Amino acid sequence: MLLLVRTFLFTIVLVAAAAVPARAGEWTQQRHDVAEIEASLGFGGRFKVGVWSPIRVTLTAGQQPINGAIHIASFDSDGVPVEHRWAADEPAAIEAGESKTFVLPVKIGRTNSRVEVILESEADGVVSRSIWNANIAELGQPVLASQQLWLSAGDLDGIDDVLRMQRVQPSEQTQHASITPDQIPDDWRMLEGVDRLLIVSGQADAWTQLSAEQLAALDWWTKLGGKIFLAVGADSPQLLAAGAPLAPFLPGKFVRMEEESETGDLEKFAGKATRLDRPDAPPLTIAVLQDASGIAIVEHGGSSDPTPLISVAPYGFGLIEFVAFDLNAPPIAGWDGRQPLLDKLLIGESQQQQGGAVSLAGRSAAHVGYEDLSGQLRVALDQFQGVHLISFFLIGVIIVGYLLLIGPGDFFLLKRFFPRMEWTWVTFPAFVVLACVVSWGVAYWAKGTEMRMNQVDVLDCDLSSRVVRSTTWAHIYSPQTQRLDIQLHNQAPSQASDWRQILAWQGLPGKSLGGMDSRQSLATVQNPYYLAEADDSVQLENLPIQIWSSRSLFGRSWATLEGDAPKPLTEINNQLLDGVIRNPTDIDLEDVYVFYGRWAWQFQKFPAGGVLSLSGKAGKNSDKVLRKTRVADARDVSELWDRENTDIDRIMEVSLFHESAGGRGYTNLIQRYQGFIDLSEHTQTQRAVLVGKAVEPVTELQIRAAGTDEPLHPQTERWTYVRLIYPVEPE
């Protein structure tokens, strides 16, 4: 009986212990009176690796107040620890017994790593550090760089069903998280991992309470390449009217809500014959826009001034997908065409077709070590002039020669030329030293003695919104072990002002060696380096680099462009263009193409301040230009994409317009990690995109030996591309 009672009590204890949620993380060092700490990564429990995400830290002070600075430490994609140090705009000043939440940007490099929250203070010259450590899986679910992350601000019924029906591999399945408007950060870079923000009806009060910093962050994120899906709802007048928080994101000016009786085009778009204006449902209510921009996919024609029902419009380098009716309310709710409508709005036919080719690209990526186009660029940038890969054959020859030399070679040498075999005590060490000298000489011949750098820059100027951004990829090779301080500076165009820069490490998507999803770590460095703010920019400090190795860096910069928007080009019949374009920058361009719709026009040069005329000029099919199609045996033959090609000009040519070239159907690679660089969709939204190569650099990486003011000047090879976006209006 006593045994049964003990067993019963023990079972109750186990059940009670299981019911108590386990707290994430633990203190590895505590020097402050912190009663409680809570932390979470990303949005709605999800964050993307390899890009900037928010980490929310809530500290509760104990009996003593807390004063100090909060730093976040994580691991980069190589498994090297990196500490994020931000300007002390809001130090951790917490009164005894009170709590305070901090939202900070962090960049996580591996799906199976840890993160540290560091509380640091100084008193009388003594620095005190408290360190709280947790596995990132305890703070949020990692989203792979090959996946998309969508956020929903408001409920959109059926979105999870749409995502479940995607015909893609699990490693490319879109991840979805729900947020409230107040969770939008006040720094746009914390939204970098978000591929799409869906704003649907509801929560008008929450939107109106957003701070100016939060709205500015959302504005910059969209202008720099973000995508907003904006659907109208019952509270739309409060959100979309002039002066409302979401009014700037509308592709036009909100006028009123009105009932729409002609729904045939919408039914045709959804692919359903069932009518929307059924007897048991109310009429469709739409938002009427004035001076609408972009491309109307479905248009309302019930008045003399047509307004879009579904449209896509550019917003800087980003896109606004606008739906002028409520997707959650009747008559759309309850209509059997609603699910096909959501499929087309959110996934699209082209993406569904590409999903069928996923398995081919996924399997074929195994032997090249990457599945994303950014991986091919990374491999190409790691090829340095004057640095040679020592082949296994040469290593084998050296080893065999060494064994022959110290074995039979030493024996026959002593037997023939020396009177006594005891001389081997001299010849054997001499042969060992000789072999070491030869090996060292071969290594120095192959690896060189100079620091080298390969750098690719893409400068984008949207001449309508006057937004300019630059994107930098740089690989630095070092002939010796050292630590570096590196800062990114923009030099051109001179018409841009208020530049801000972010420089950090560059990751490799996938599970291959060195990939962000790999469980293997290549790191041998234990001491961290720093991502630190300086003059509104983020720079690298104390970056370690091993002898005869390289580091991959990635930078983003943004600014505003002075001057006025140019006069729009005119689209005449068949998507041909009429008009002239001017180069408003001080950058000379060569090997120039203008892409619009399905056409591309080629020009040899476009000097600074120069003018090009498109009037009467015949264009070529853009996909044929990008695929380098030629005529052979009376048929078009495209150049096959070589995934092992290291020609950077060719890689960038396709990367900048990947979807126009055919996407993964052409390259067998996805472009998800840094997909914002692809402006293919903009060529379909009344924007003409000019691209050319610049001889002069537009950015500069200032490199110094850590802890010194000594500048380092590596041998640098550059590739610089400039894109200018011009507005287009119909004839």
Domain for residue 666, yes or no?
yes
Q: What is the pLDDT of residues 454-485, one digit of tens each?
A: 999 999 999 999 999 999 999 999 999 999 99
The boundaries of the domain holding residue 110 are 21-141
Residue 124 lies in a domain: yes
In a domain, 713, yes or no: no
**What torsion do the CA atoms of 489, 491, 496, 500 make, to the nearest 10 degrees?**
0
Cβ(227)–Cβ(197) below 8 Å? yes
192 and 335 in a common domain:
yes
Question: Under a CB-based contact definition with an 8 Å cutoff, are residues 596 and 691 in contact?
Answer: no
630 and 647 belong to one structural domain: yes
Confidence at 421, pLDDT banded by 50, 70, 90: confident
Instruction: Give percent of the chain above pLDDT 70.
Output: 91
Q: Tell me: do 189 and 321 sit in the same domain.
A: yes
Query: With 70 as the cut, is the pLDDT of residue 348 above it?
Result: yes
Within a domain: 707: no
- Structure-token match 């996946």, residue found: 147
Q: Is residue 457 part of a domain?
A: no
Q: What are phi and psi of 624, to 5 degrees?
A: -70, -35
Residues 198 and 340 in one domain: yes
Q: Are residues 116 and 157 in the same domain?
A: no
Question: pLDDT class for 147, splitting at 50, 70, 90?
Answer: very high
The residues, ordered by sequence, that sit 6+ positions from 80 with a Cβ below 8 Å of its Cβ are 523, 525, 528, 529, 544
Q: Which helix (H) or strand (E) holds 339?
A: helix 338-346
Please report whether residue 249 resides in a domain. yes
Clarify whether residues 82 and 201 are in a common domain: no
More confident residue, 296 or 402: 296
Whether pLDDT at 8 is above 60: no
Residue 377 lies in a domain: no
Place of tokens 């248009």: 299
| Residue 708 Cα distances to 133, 153, 481, 483, 703, angstroms | 32, 48, 16, 11, 11
Q: Which of 374, 407, 432 is the last residue of a domain?
A: 432
Cβ atoms within 10 Å, residue 596: 25
The CATH number that applies at residue 317 is 3.40.50
Domain total in the chain: 4
Structural contact between residues 517 and 672, judged by C-beta atoms closer than 8 angstroms: no
Is the domain of 97 the same as that of 188?
A: no
- Is residue 125 located within the same domain as residue 190? no
Q: What is the CATH number for 125? A: 2.70.50.60
Taking residue 574's Cβ as centre, other Cβ atoms within 10 Å add up to 9
Boundary of a domain, candidates 123, 141, 159: 141
503 in a structural domain: no
Predicted pLDDT at 25 = 85
Do residues 123 and 650 touch, judged by C-beta distance below 8 A? no
Contacts of 609 (CB under 8 A, 6+ apart): 582, 583, 584, 586
576 plus 677 within the same structural domain: yes
Residues 304 and 194 in one domain: yes
- Please write the tens of the pLDDT for every residue from 276-331: 887 778 889 999 999 899 899 998 765 556 789 999 999 999 999 999 999 999 99
Mean pLDDT along residues 194-219 = 91
Q: Examine the domain organization and report whether 667 and 679 are in the same domain.
A: yes
pLDDT in tens, 697-714: 999 999 999 989 889 999
Of the residues 110, 141, 172, which one is the last residue of a structural domain?
A: 141
> Is 228 found in the same domain as 87?
no
CA torsion angle for 693, 695, 701, 702 (degrees, to 10)? -170
Backbone angles phi, psi at 613, to 5 degrees: -105, 130
User: What count of Cα atoms within 13 Å lies in the side-chain half-sphere of residue 268?
Assistant: 8
